[in-house]
Structure 1
Amino acid sequence: MQSRRQFLAASGAAAGMLLTPAWAADKATKPNDKMGLAFVGLGWRGGQLLDAFSKFKDVEVVALSDADEERLGKVGEKFPKAIREVDMRKVIDRPDVDAVIVATPNHWHCLAAIRACQAGKDVYCEKPLGHNLWEQEQLIKAARAGERIVQVGTQQRSSPLQAQARKLLHDDQAIGKLSHVVVSRIGERKPIGQRNRPLVAPSTVDYDLWVGPALDQPLYRNEFHYDWHWDWNTGNGEMGNWGVHVLDDVLNVALADKAGYPSAVHSAAVRAGWRDAGNTPNIQVAWYENNTLPVQMIMSNVVPAGALKQATDFIGFDTGYTVFGEGGKFCGSRGRWRAIDNDGKVIAEKGGSAGDGIHQRNFLDAVLSRDRSTLNAEVETGHISTAWCHLASIAALEGEVVGKTHTPTSNEAWQRLQDGYEEQVTGVGVYNPPAPAGSIEVDPKTGQVKQVESEQAQQLVRRAYRSEKWKREFEV
């Protein structure tokens, strides 16, 4: 009888086919033969994923990796049988590892996943899929070349609420013909500090491994962990953090996954009110032109954000989206939604799972069946959702350099959105004058940006690496 591990290794023969997994039949004679998982990146989200995956009886946590030995040791206490390694390559290459769960900082996402694919392992990669567009494209190539199962951690796609909402809007047409969508991420964050001297990494961190492919730049924030999100060198700001979730919801539910890439993106962004070491925006607006419905986005980590909401007639959840229809509005968020008519009466309302648990099980089932079409957030789907975030950031950064903008299809609505943005920024205050809005044109078939003039924006298309060696490792 073919063992479960032999079945997984021979996945190419069954690619694209839904089969009764050999592993399931093998359990009768090998009850302890479980799917071996390695976890790379053990921070806040990495810990959540460990909890989610380890609840399943058909998996075993066999290896753990993190560049911080202290963190590695603390997490390892919960999984004493798991091998612990600071260098991820030592766990990815292990023969008892069948799948790798990636929850590193953003600048490591794609390379960790590429390494796993090339080692013959399947991958669950936390969102955003990658730090920039080119790396994400390389990961897709690696997944296809090795016929790997790769799921992206936009777990809300696995929530039953999403399918119900999609049916309500498109099959039942509960709010009539749809006109446009407003996406929102309004959530308070705090400044990350501004040191006079560079921050020294904790002694427990292998800093060379932590930096990896990113540029080795001095850090002036107060905290080493997590606040890498707000540094373009290692993170993607709020647009690449919560923005991926809410935009993915819109692409899936409101646009029924028919939009693909936008054809143009217009955006204005600034880091307002804070004198700190962060360089990613804390206030941003964007307008996406696409072949389905116009999409506006408002984002502010400074609250309240009444000016942004008023500019878009937004009535939904602070972190969520509102779909506007001729007969009412639909407001969606993580784990809940409601539809109201034009008189404000609730037509339908639902609450429930946000997708965690279900999403991880969906990945494991796809690993067993070798059918990537069963994934709820397959790598190419995750690439498109993350690309929408990167494209807004690229457009805004173009504005900082050249103020390059052209008039969107609906000029009045875009002007109103910019007016709301300027009012929000003025109310918060800035230390440097905010840049004008920027625009980019995008090939809607490939997602390629047609022209980029800003050096910083280029880093989100294809970044500069610490060395040629690191760049070559991405190339597939």
Structure 2
Amino acid sequence: MPDRKLTRRTLLKGTAGAMAAPLIVPGHLLGADPPSERIGLGHIGVGGQGTHLFNQFQRCKGAQSVAVADCFKDRREARAQQCGGTPYADLRDLLARKDVDAVVIATQDHWHVVAALLAVRAGKDVYVEKPLGISVLHDQTLRSEVRARKRVFQYGTQQRSQNQQDRKGCELVRSGRIGRITEIHVTAPNGASGGSTDEIPVPPGLDYDMWLGPAPQAPYTKDRCTNQGTYHIYDYALGFIAGWGAHPLDQLVWGYDIHKAGITEVEGTGRIPDRGLFNTVLDWDVRLSCANGVKMTFKTGGDNTRFVGTEGWIEVSRGGWNASPASLKEAELGPNDVHLVESRNHYQNFIDCIKSRKDPVSFIEDAVRSDIISHLGDIAIRLKRKIRWDWEREAILDDAEASRMLSRPLREPWML
């Protein structure tokens, strides 16, 4: 990682910017929490989703946004003005600030883990948008660093906080109300193809080299640094097999310990576009067979997770849940049943856990487990053959080519 020392000049520059910015403090921050007890937030990436998160955190009690980093000048300046903070073109300058206690990372996918590692190693707690990493090694490295450095990590799978019915459904599954689990079926919306490959000049106000960061050098096109580009170009993401699949797969690991299912065979089919800029897997149909007998499917379709047991089924989605027998929807959980962490506000849960030092509702281990399923499906589809995954060792068995796909090289000087 390049050395970014905080010089007197950069310190004075940052201080001058902070003094020049208008002071706009959300009203609730002027109440019970004294400044010494407020969590100072830095925001890394404030495009569409990043701005949504920024606005959500302005409503949180006990927190104040103080700094914003983004490769687009207009984005960072607009959000910094909104909170009375300081804009930065380089996230490392934001992370050098002592008054930033935690960061909210909503960059393009290929920056998620690299930015989070920089933050964790700088002593910051992290909220990281989904999906997690562009390789399994990225995921594993971040998990190790979060735990070793005792950082609070919240994953951007907001469904755990938005829909209390999903929590109850997963609690019923874990409490054995549908018997022994035999099948799990997951669906997520399909991705996209297309995108212009024609090179055009980089627009003013965009630090394109920083935008690329750890990704390979590539010519700028009109569709590259857009939402569609960041979702569907393989240098930056796995596509919706991870980008949207993260939500229903998160519900899977919330309701069932897939990592305890033993050695798992993974195979699948899909289509990779051969024209245009976008080249992530489409029309995927992934099948997993676990050593404990559980069969799982993950394919394009809606946005739901269905657990099938010997005595019924439960299906959860962001739109609600359903069950058979229908009486399960009226079932009450007793003191001896499984009770998952309850959160009714994903963002406030993160702030509260920074103060309590407890794990938030979407903790790092589940983030890694759900992301691994996307990666295994992608690898099996691209290799056009079955692979075998050992959950205990977190390794692909007896397949050197597939194993090499568990990591990706990063463009210098960036590294894990």
TM-score (norm 1): 0.72
Q: Deviations over 1:172-196 (max 9, x none)?
A: 62x4443211111135x5543333x
Q: Which residue of 2 aligns with 1:119?
A: 122
Query: After the TM superposition, which residues 323-472 of structure 1 pair with which residues of structure 2 at under 5 Å, given as runs?
Result: 323-341=307-325, 348=329, 358-371=345-358, 374-399=359-384, 438-452=385-399, 460-467=405-412, 469-471=413-415
Residue 295 of structure 1 aligns to which amino acid in structure 2? Answer: M
Residue 134 of structure 2 aligns to which amino acid in structure 1? Answer: H
1:44 shift after superposition: 1.5
Q: Secondary structure in 2 aligned to 1:348?
A: helix
Q: Aligned in 2, Cα 1:57/1:178: closer, same or farther, shift over 3 Å?
A: closer
Q: Deviations over 1:132-160 (max 9, x none)?
A: 11122221222233221122212223343
1:201 shift after superposition: 3.3
Query: After the TM superposition, which residues 88-127 of structure 1 pair with which residues of structure 2 at under 5 Å, given as runs?
Result: 88-127=91-130
Q: Distance in 2 between matches of 1:282 and 1:29?
A: 48
Q: Secondary structure in 1 aligned to 2:390?
A: coil
Unmatched runs of 5 consecutive residues or more in structure 1: 1-26, 301-317, 400-437
1:256 shift after superposition: 4.7
Q: Aligned in 2, Cα 1:97/1:170: closer, same or farther, shift over 3 Å?
A: closer
Alpha carbons 2:266, 2:287 under 8 Å: kept: yes
Q: Aligned in 2, Cα 1:162/1:262: closer, same or farther, shift over 3 Å?
A: farther
Q: Which residue of 1 aligns with 2:135?
A: 132
Alpha carbons 2:152, 2:354 under 8 Å: kept: yes
Q: Which residue of 2 aligns with 1:268?
A: 269
Query: After the TM superposition, which residues 159-174 of structure 1 pair with which residues of structure 2 at under 5 Å, given as runs?
Result: 159-171=163-175, 173=177
1:30 shift after superposition: 3.0
Q: Deviations over 1:49-79 (max 9, x none)?
A: 1122110131000000101112222333422
Q: Distance in 2 between matches of 1:394 and 1:291?
A: 20
Q: Distance in 2 between matches of 1:222 and 1:114?
A: 28
1:221 shift after superposition: 6.1
Residue 281 of structure 1 aligns to which amino acid in structure 2? Answer: V
Alpha carbons 2:200, 2:220 under 8 Å: kept: yes
Residue 358 of structure 1 aligns to which amino acid in structure 2? Answer: N
For residue 182 of structure 1, the aligned residue among 178, 181, 185 is 185
Q: Distance in 2 between matches of 1:459 and 1:216?
A: 21
Q: Which residue of 1 aligns with 2:13?
A: none
Q: Secondary structure in 1 aligned to 2:134?
A: coil
Q: Secondary structure in 1 aligned to 2:206?
A: coil
Q: Secondary structure in 1 aligned to 2:185?
A: strand
Q: Which residue of 2 aligns with 1:277?
A: 277
For residue 75 of structure 2, the aligned residue among 71, 76, 82 is 71
Q: Which residue of 2 aligns with 1:320?
A: 304
Query: Identity percentage over the alignment?
Result: 27
Q: Which residue of 1 aligns with 2:194?
A: 192
Alpha carbons 1:261, 1:388 under 8 Å: kept: no
Q: Secondary structure in 1 aligned to 2:53?
A: helix
Q: Deviations over 1:407-458 (max 9, x none)?
A: xxxxxxxxxxxxxxxxxxxxxxxxxxxxxxx22112220322235565xx66
Alpha carbons 1:155, 1:359 under 8 Å: kept: yes
Q: Which residue of 1 aligns with 2:237?
A: 235
RMSD: 2.7
Q: Deviations over 1:373-430 (max 9, x none)?
A: x32222222111111111111111111xxxxxxxxxxxxxxxxxxxxxxxxxxxxxxx
Residue 354 of structure 2 aligns to which amino acid in structure 1? Answer: V
Q: Distance in 1 between matches of 2:40 and 2:263?
A: 39
